[in-house]
Amino acid sequence: MKQMTLAAVGFERYGKTTRRALFLAEMDRVVPWASLCKLVERYYPKPGNGRPPIGLARMLGIYFLQH
């Protein structure tokens, strides 16, 4: 068993929330992901022969972040 250090045990709660984490949390709160996924699902490629597509929810998040 590996010994835990003081930094690993007690200081997690003092971590600062980054701007990225705040932005992603706000995006999750504002964007209706379930209804968007349901709307786009019929047009999104289905897994078959070849390379499997990236998950729909993840890809929608990437598109929203790009814009």
- N- to C-terminal Cα separation, the chain: 46
Amino acid 31: pLDDT: 93
Q: Is residue 9 part of a domain?
A: no
Q: Is residue 1 part of a domain?
A: no
Amino acid 55: pLDDT: 92
CA angle 64, 65, 66 (to 5 degrees): 90
Mutual orientation of helices 56-66 and 33-40 as an angle, nearest 10°? Answer: 110
Domain count, the chain: 1
Domain around 55:
15-66
Quote the pTM value: 0.64
Q: pLDDT tens for residues 21-49?
A: 999 999 999 999 999 999 999 999 988 88
Q: Is residue 8 part of a domain?
A: no
